[in-house]
Structure 1
Amino acid sequence: MASSIVSDLGLGSGLDINNIVKVLVQSDTAAKTAQLARQSSYNTAYISGVGSLRSALTAFTTAMGKLNDKAAPSFNAFAASSASDSVVKAIASNTAVAGSYSVEVKNLATSSKVASQLLSGGVNESIPAGDLLIEQGGKTYTVKVGVDATLQTVRDQINKELGSSGISANIIMGEGGARLVLGSTETGVGTDISVKGIAKLEIDGTEPMVSGGAGYITSAAKDAVVLIDGLEVKSASNVIKDAVSGISLELTGPSVAGVATKVTVAANNDGLKTSVQGFVDAYNTLQKAITAMTKTSTDADGNLVLGSLTNDPTTRSLLSDIRGVLSEMGGGDRLTTLSQLGINTQKDGTLEFNSSKFTAAMNDKKLGGEVQALFTGTDGIFERMNKAIDPYNAADGSLATRKNSLDKVAKNISDQQAALDRRTESLTTALTRKYVALDTALGKMKAQADQITSIFEAINAQAKKS
């Protein structure tokens, strides 16, 4: 055995100390090293899988959120269009009725815009201290003007204190001085701005400016006036929601005198189909992502390869819960299941959307009015789907808890690896010292043996001569 560890590269005895120590240390630590490598690989894959699953769930719920946007609702059974968006824009809700309407905008609703009297001192005009009372629509706002105030500081103070209430101020320089100008985002009759409390800035917003005096700039605030199929409608806002059932009209400009704009409301089958397809696509993206994480495969050598979440009980439970939502009956009168819209689950868990069956449901069975309730209504598919997903994907859900546990395992593995590295270093140092000492001792013994051999050779030589 000794001859097998002799190396010409060694010192003294010829032992290859580095290689001997390396082999002995590996023999001592190999099992633990392999164990930690397996644990780390498994845990890292699991962390990655949980992170990917949470990302996929978030993407799915975000897609549902966009389809359920209250500002731009999907799944409306009807769609409205205007012959001239520069005059009126129309949005139909799920309660609209198919038909056409003639809309003539006589005038838009306007807001109050008023100016103070002409102040010769310009932006630096001195304004006496006191309470500046700004009144609009039955509300009074008090701006406390301090000493040494100027027209500019009063303007800045108004914007700071009343900006959130929709009132803004500015200064317009003109011939002979400056005026404080107040405006508002509120429209309609009775929203005129008046200012009291400080004589220099008093304004009666219902009176026009005369010469250098104060008042409204162009006109007092007005209501919108619209003729809908010849019937006059007045509105304090340029968005009229109640004049025609199920239709919101946004007035964008006055009509040419005597010229009406046609607003058409029709079945929104194409829009409904796009929204339903959007849900199917979002769900299938989630299903495919989960399948990729849970499937098994074989590599080039025929070895079984597991996905990052293969056989994970939490993922199986999640899949069961969200698939259960798809099979539950809705609360509609006639439309209660996705299959009625041509949506069915395939063998791989993804959804199939049958366009022909959907078209028949819209045209023949007239189910368009119930699609919105099935998806976005109270206890609809979106609400139930979010309830199913939330226990898993919430900030304190089971996946977040799992991630925290896996992070702790990763930390423990790292600590064990650090301890193993320290043991490897310590063992290497100790064994190296021992073999260096052995090498030194063997070197001395070899030198002594060589010396004794020389003595005997000298004796033999002398004996031969005699």
Structure 2
Amino acid sequence: MATSAITAPTYDPTSTAKALADKYIEGAQTQLTTQTNTANATAKALTTLSSAISAYQTSLASLAGIGKSMLAQSATLSDTTLGTATASSTATPGTYSVFVKQVATPSQIAYNLGDFDLSAEKQPDGTYQPGVLKLNLADPADLAATPVTINVDLAAADADKNGTLTARELAVAINQSADNGGKVTAGIVTIGTGASATSRLVLSSTKTGAANTISLDTTGVLDANLQAALNAAPTVMSTAQDAIVNFGDPTDPTTEVKQASNTFTNIDGVSFTATKAQAPGATPITLTVGGNATGTTANVQAFVDAYNKLKSALDGLLSAGDPKNNVAAGAFAHDAGVTALRNRVVDLLRPSGVLSLASYGITAAHDGTLSLDSARLQKQLAVNPTGLDTLIGTASTSAPTGIAGSLNTYLNMWSNATTGQIQERTDANSSLQSRLTERQTDLDDKYNAAYQRYLKQYTALQALQSTMQNNSSMFSALFNSNSSN
């Protein structure tokens, strides 16, 4: 009678060891992964919170910082062909007489130059030493002034070292001089065509004013032909001069202001830029400074938008989520501290007193976001123009006032780089992340040890099973043989 061979279950030691090692650390790994994901989400959320608060405080400083006002001012000219004007919020309303005697202009001169053979300056070592050209910037009428000097190495100007200096090479050398720094620009204008074409080196000062008059000092130029060409009288394309404006009676010298720039800031909070001179005896223009309703509305709208952006960020971080629609909760959904932050920010918009944001058209919707009624804003400003600045106040660390001051002071408790809540939370979370990383390393070591142990055991078991299988086959063959006899 034949005997059936014993059939043992077969398995792979590698996959079995992995499955058992996974099971061995499964609970600890699940817990550690959850903690790590939470810590990483917290780090990301703290960065989001920090950015949102920082952006809001920057906006507060821009709109309601020291010397700032929510009330915008405008400056208008009776003749806009003579200049432009702007007014800051600190400008005092009023009218001013302005007479433009002269506008500031830059210096621009041109030289007709060809190519210059520098062979006479060739040295025994094969190099050329044509000397140094100096460009000076100074007011020719001020003999006591020390000129600004730009040194141009003519040897370096011969970039291809072929012993010929072209006008274009000289222009490049002037622009690249270490002394230049953008004070003078050099360019080439070609006049004519073909064989009759000539190159004109055009030198222009980048700043206006008599002190920026360009002149050449050729005493250091060793090539006689080049020196002669540069000593020739240049074509003056623009004479450098200062701007002269009278803020008052143009016949009264005490009202005259002379300066190198065309932009004048002599009227507090006002910037006036002259663009065209008036004819002698012409009537002065009028510069009027007054309230800018459009600008004020834009400032208040910016205040509203900045707050809504901060609140939106806080709402997202505190969101309870929607499990039914697979919407995850915010990282701080159960954080009492961040909840208190949002609530306090909302409360600070409701200062005690007669004035309120609502009286100036700034109201809150059911979700807490602000909106602006510009018509109501302008109506209240007509009744109480200074009340808005009093209400909003100043976002100053040293002397905070009003809503902006209270908000900025409170938010500093969170945003301070050394003692703020965000920094403290970030430090604590970073320490937690470091500990979790260490725990993950330890758990990985335990996993590897368990895997190697199980792999060794089941590899040995597989070998034993294989031996038993072979023995079983041998006995089966032996019994079958005896039966047949």
Q: Shorter-chain-normalised TM-score: which range?
A: 0.5 to 0.7
Kindly indicate whether the alpha-carbon contact (under 8 Å) linking 1:136 and 1:191 is maintained by their aligned counterparts in 2. Answer: yes
1:179-200: CA deviation from partner (whole Å, max 9, x where unpaired): 7654324434555444446287
Q: Hey, what's the Cα distance between the residues in 2 that align with 1:128 and 1:26?
A: 82
Residue 415 (str. 1) matches residue 441 (str. 2): yes
Q: Is residue 48 from structure 1 mapped to residue 48 from structure 2 by the alignment?
A: no
- Paired with 2:72 and 2:96, the residues of 1 have a C-alpha distance of 18
Kept in 2: contact 1:151–1:180 (CA 8 A): no
Matches for 1:221-300 after TM superposition, within 5 Å: 221-225=241-245, 233-236=256-259, 237-242=261-266, 244-254=267-277, 263-297=287-321, 299-300=323-324
Residues 48, 397 of structure 1: alpha-carbon distance in 2 compared, 3 angstrom cutoff: closer
- Over residues 211-269 of structure 1, what are the superposed CA-to-partner deviations in whole Å (9 max), with x where a residue is unaligned? 95258544452424468787775542211221x45422122345699687665433123
Q: Is 2:178 the counterpart of 1:184?
A: no
Contact conserved, 1:280 with 1:351, CA < 8 A, in 2? yes
Unaligned ranges ≥5, structure 1? 1-10, 202-210
Query: Could you report, residue by residue, the CA deviation over 1:400-426 in whole angstroms, capped at 9, with x for unpaired residues?
Result: 535643552453354245335424532
Map 1:138-149 onto structure 2 (within 5 A).
Answer: 138-144=145-151, 148=155
Which residue in 1 is equivalent to 2:73? 78
Aligned match of 1:164: 181
- Aligned CA RMSD, in angstroms, stands at 5.3
Matches within 5 A, 1:440-451: 440=466, 443=469, 447=473
Q: How does 1:43-442 map to 2 (within 5 A)?
A: 43-61=39-57, 63-64=59-60, 67=63, 75-82=70-77, 85-99=80-94, 105=100, 107-114=102-109, 129=131, 132=134, 134-137=136-139, 138-144=145-151, 148=155, 156=172, 158-159=174-175, 160-164=177-181, 166-170=183-187, 181-189=202-210, 191-196=212-217, 198=219, 212-214=232-234, 216-225=236-245, 233-236=256-259, 237-242=261-266, 244-254=267-277, 263-297=287-321, 299-300=323-324, 306-312=329-335, 315=338, 341=360, 343=362, 350-351=369-370, 353=372, 355=374, 358-367=377-386, 370=389, 374-375=393-394, 379=399, 381=404, 384=409, 387-388=412-413, 390-391=415-416, 397-398=423-424, 401=427, 404-405=430-431, 407-409=433-435, 411-412=437-438, 414-416=440-442, 418-423=444-449, 425-437=451-463, 439-440=465-466
Question: Counterpart of 2:226?
Answer: none
Q: Distance in 1 between matches of 2:99 and 2:319?
A: 62
CA distance in 1 between partners of 2:81 and 2:453 (Å)? 84
C-alpha distance in 2 between matches for 1:416 and 1:429? 20
Tell me: CA distance 1:276–1:216, structure 2 relative to 1, closer, same or farther (3 Å).
same
CA deviation profile, 1:319-350 (whole Å, cap 9, x unmatched)? 58867876789xxxx99986775557788665
Return the offset for 1:367. 1.3
Say if 1:103 and 1:228, in contact at 8 Å, map to a contact too.
yes
CA contact (8 A) 1:103 1:227 kept: yes
Partner of 2:124: none
Q: Aligned with 2:181: secondary structure? A: helix
Matched residue count: 431
- Given that residues 83 and 276 in structure 2 are in contact (C-alpha distance below 8 angstroms), is that contact kept between their aligned partners in structure 1? yes
* Counterpart amino acid of residue 251 in structure 1: A
Match of 1:40, as an amino acid? Answer: T
Query: Which one of 33, 38, 48 corresponds to residue 34 of structure 2?
Result: 38
CA contact (8 A) 1:128 1:145 kept: no
Q: Which runs of 5+ in 2 are unaligned?
A: 122-128, 140-144, 158-164, 223-230
For 1:215 and 1:52, the matched residues in 2 are separated by: 61
Select the structure with the greater relative contact order (CA < 8 A; seq sep ≥ 6): 2
* Cα distance between partner residues in 1 of 2:414 and 2:340: 11
Residue 364 of structure 1 and its aligned partner are, at CA, apart by 0.6
State the Cα distance separating 1:45 from its structure 2 match.
2.3
Aligned residues of 2:186 and 2:203 also touching (Cα < 8 A): yes
Partner Cα distance (2:414, 2:25) in 1 = 45
Deviation (angstroms), 1:271: 1.5
Q: Within 2, Cα distance between the matches of 1:448 and 1:163?
A: 100
From the superposition, tell whether residues 193 and 304 of structure 1 become closer, same or farther in structure 2 (CA, over 3 Å): closer
What TM-score, normalized to structure 1?
Answer: 0.68
Letter in 2 for 1:241: T
The question of whether the paired residues in 1 share the 8 Å contact of 2:136 and 2:214 is answered with yes
Maintained 8 Å contact 1:123/1:151: no
CA change 1:191–1:328 in 2 (3 A) is farther
Bigger fraction of residues in strand: 1
Q: CA deviation at 1:284?
A: 1.9
Partner Cα distance (2:480, 2:16) in 1: 32
Secondary structure, aligned partner of 1:307 = coil
Say whether the 8 Å CA contact 1:131–1:144 is kept in structure 2.
yes
